[in-house]
């Protein structure tokens, strides 16, 4: 694949250098649109030339799959006539997505002014929905028929109007008031008696989306149902538009990317990494780093509080990194598992108690495993280096093993419950990122470790 792109890039560059625009047009129109997208990535300085050279339908199809910063960079270099053709040629959902993500308000208004009054009204309607809602990504280009049509009349209607529809795989059935009744796949129409009425094919197994629903809800519904498109209705059941599977896949990819960024301890990037200015990248990362840094400063306060105990039993300080890493790792594991289960719909908010009980058992079991390993490690080292822990090696081993049980259990509970707390407060569970959980468990884990040490070594410290 990489070799193919290198070859395409070289051939394209030769045609550009030769100035043979006609040959370049023929060459580009013969490529897959994904190949042209790769060419624009490889030759960003010629992006606008490539779009301007292609036939309008091909140019529009390539433009719609580019990321927004690239789209904006290209649109600023095109002629007014080409811009108008592309913007008017975009499907309504792609057009709305592009215009809605533009940061340059002046450019946004200029592009909207190029639209026809009907398309302009359509854009304003779609942009009126919340940014991460189903309504923002739906398209009003669909096929709808009354229930008293026959199969023959429906097929004739599809032949006449299907060209302007986002998909002809599904036809929607409306009552006389425009309320959605059901949908029919094209397969059902093709195998049915042409004289049969549509109302006789209705099975009542309608699956739909609400315009105000968040995108996450739409992704879940598509995942659970084998559909290429789903209708979008308002609160009164009126059919407003449809959402297709290709748009949902794009949305799911963006949601996944944002969740991964948040779980890594940074704000979600609204532009590709390499297109994001460095100052914005620093700003996106600085917020969480400051919060995590301030949180980690508490570990110094905890160690200062137990300074006397550590000074008397200095060997305990050797195991501080072990305690910190074990608690953070167990918390990060639990947090990642719960966030993923929430994202896929496996775990709901009401399941918190079931998760809590499972993590008590899991955390306790994992803590016992690590605690046992820790104790035997100290025992083996004592046999090899008798003077390392001295006559109190059993107390050291007991402190380490018991602390590991408590810290791993605590880390598992914090990591698993924090996503539920954030979801309950209306926040994104992904913000309970691994670094965030680890920071909380670092501080509290030290308290657990040093408190257990005080109990076990108390008589020795005060003797």
Of residues 61 and 428, more confidence is placed in: 61
Residue 89 confidence (pLDDT)? 86
**Cα–Cα distance, 327 to 438 (Å, whole number):** 7
pTM: 0.63
- 317 shares its domain with 379: yes
Tell whether 251 is covered by a domain.
Answer: no
Most confident of the ranges 326-330, 404-408, 453-457: 404-408
User: Is it the case that residue 439 has pLDDT exceeding 70?
Assistant: yes
User: Is it the case that residue 273 has pLDDT exceeding 70?
Assistant: no
| Overall average pLDDT of the 351-374 stretch | 93
**Cα–Cα distance, 137 to 88 (Å, whole number):** 17
Q: Which of 196, 229, 244 is the last residue of a domain?
A: 244
**Cα–Cα distance, 111 to 114 (Å, whole number):** 5
User: Is it the case that residue 204 has pLDDT exceeding 90?
Assistant: no
Give the relative orientation of helices 245-263 and 215-224 as an angle to the nearest 10 degrees: 120
**Cα–Cα distance, 237 to 181 (Å, whole number):** 9
User: Is it the case that residue 1 has pLDDT exceeding 50?
Assistant: no
Cβ–Cβ < 8 Å for 195, 171: no
| CA separation, residue 131 to residues 52, 59, 102, 211 (Å) | 30, 26, 12, 11
- Give the CATH number of the domain where residue 388 resides: 1.10.357.20
Q: What percent of the chain has pLDDT over 70?
A: 87
| Overall average pLDDT of the 350-365 stretch | 92
Phi/psi for 284 (5° steps) reads -65, -35
Tell whether 139 is covered by a domain.
Answer: no
Cβ–Cβ < 8 Å for 23, 15: yes
User: Is it the case that residue 198 has pLDDT exceeding 60?
Assistant: yes
Cβ–Cβ < 8 Å for 295, 440: yes
- 343 shares its domain with 453: yes
Residues 6+ apart with CB under 8 A from 419: 335, 338, 339, 342, 429, 432
| Overall average pLDDT of the 178-187 stretch | 88
Tell me, what DSSP letter sits at residue 201?
T
- For residue 161, give its domain range: 144-244
Residue 431 confidence (pLDDT)? 65
Residues 6-44: tens digit of each pLDDT: 888 888 888 888 887 888 888 888 888 888 888 888 888
Tell whether 302 is covered by a domain.
Answer: yes
- Give the CATH number of the domain where residue 177 resides: 3.10.580.10
| Overall average pLDDT of the 410-438 stretch | 81
- 209 shares its domain with 348: no
Average pLDDT over the chain reads 82
- Give the CATH number of the domain where residue 88 resides: 1.25.60.10
- 91 shares its domain with 211: no
User: Is it the case that residue 219 has pLDDT exceeding 60?
Assistant: yes
- 292 shares its domain with 238: no
**Cα–Cα distance, 95 to 195 (Å, whole number):** 39
- 215 shares its domain with 296: no
SS3 282: helix
Indicate the range of 2-6, 110-114, 244-248 predicted with least confidence: 2-6
Burial of 279 (0-12, 13-18, 19+ CB in 10 A): exposed
Residues 107-155: tens digit of each pLDDT: 888 888 888 888 888 888 888 888 888 888 888 888 898 888 998 999 9
Residue 262 confidence (pLDDT)? 63
Residues facing residue 244 across a β-bridge = 229
User: Is it the case that residue 281 has pLDDT exceeding 70?
Assistant: no
Tell whether 60 is covered by a domain.
Answer: yes
Structural domains in the chain (count): 3
Residues 298-327: tens digit of each pLDDT: 776 776 676 666 666 677 777 888 888 888
**Cα–Cα distance, 300 to 319 (Å, whole number):** 16
pLDDT-derived band of residue 401, with 50, 70 and 90 as boundaries? very high
Chain centroid to CA 103: 21
User: Is it the case that residue 214 has pLDDT exceeding 90?
Assistant: no
**Cα–Cα distance, 136 to 129 (Å, whole number):** 5
Tell whether 66 is covered by a domain.
Answer: yes
Q: Which pair of tokens denotes residue 49? A: 């030339």
Indicate the range of 88-97, 288-297, 380-389 predicted with least confidence: 288-297
**Cα–Cα distance, 54 to 42 (Å, whole number):** 17
């Amino acid at each position: 694949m990489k070799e193919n792109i290198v070859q395409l890039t070289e051939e394209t560059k030769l045609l550009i250098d030769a100035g043979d625009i006609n040959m370049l047009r023929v060459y580009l129109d013969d490529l897959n649109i994904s190949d042209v997208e790769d060419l624009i990535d490889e030759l960003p300085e010629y992006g606008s030339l490539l779009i301007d050279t292609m036939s309008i339908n091909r140019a529009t199809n390539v433009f719609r799959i580019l990321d927004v910063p690239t789209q904006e960079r290209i649109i600023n270099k095109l002629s007014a006539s080409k811009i108008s053709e592309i913007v008017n040629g975009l499907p309504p959902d792609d057009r709305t997505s592009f215009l809605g993500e533009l940061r340059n308000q002046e450019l946004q208004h200029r592009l909207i002014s190029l639209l026809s009054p009907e398309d302009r009204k359509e854009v304003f309607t779609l942009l009126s929905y919340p940014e991460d809602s189903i309504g923002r990504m739906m398209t009003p280009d669909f096929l709808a028929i009354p229930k008293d049509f026959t199969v023959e009349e429906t097929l004739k209607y599809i032949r006449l109007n299907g060209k302007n529809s986002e998909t002809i795989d599904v036809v929607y059935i409306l009552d006389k008031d425009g309320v959605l009744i059901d949908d029919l796949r094209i397969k059902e129409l093709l195998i049915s008696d042409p004289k049969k009425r549509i109302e006789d094919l209705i099975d009542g197994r309608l699956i739909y989306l609400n315009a105000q629903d968040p995108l996450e809800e739409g992704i879940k519904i598509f995942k659970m149902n084998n559909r290429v498109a789903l209708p979008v209705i308002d609160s009164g059941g009126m059919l407003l538009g449809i959402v297709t599977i290709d748009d949902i896949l794009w949305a799911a990819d963006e949601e996944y990317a944002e969740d991964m960024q948040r779980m890594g301890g940074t704000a979600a990037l609204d532009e590709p990494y390499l297109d994001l200015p460095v100052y914005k990248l620093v700003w996106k990362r600085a917020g969480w780093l400051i919060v995590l840094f301030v949180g980690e400063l508490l570990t110094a306060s905890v160690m200062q509080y137990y300074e006397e105990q550590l000074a008397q039993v200095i060997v305990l300080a050797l195991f501080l990194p072990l305690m910190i890493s074990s608690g953070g790792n167990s918390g990060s594991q639990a947090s990642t598992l719960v966030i993923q289960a929430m994202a896929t719909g496996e775990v709901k908010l009401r399941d918190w108690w079931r998760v809590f009980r499972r993590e008590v058992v899991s955390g306790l079991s994992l803590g016992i495993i690590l605690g046992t390993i820790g104790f035997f490690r100290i025992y083996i080292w004592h046999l090899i280096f008798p003077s390392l822990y001295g006559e109190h090696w059993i107390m050291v081993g007991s402190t380490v093993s018991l602390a590991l049980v408590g810290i791993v259990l605590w880390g598992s509970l914090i990591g698993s419950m924090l996503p539920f707390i954030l979801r309950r407060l209306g926040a994104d569970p992904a913000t309970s990122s691994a670094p965030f959980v680890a920071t909380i468990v670092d501080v509290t884990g030290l308290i657990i470790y040093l408190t257990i040490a005080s109990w076990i070594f108390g008589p020795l410290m005060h003797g």
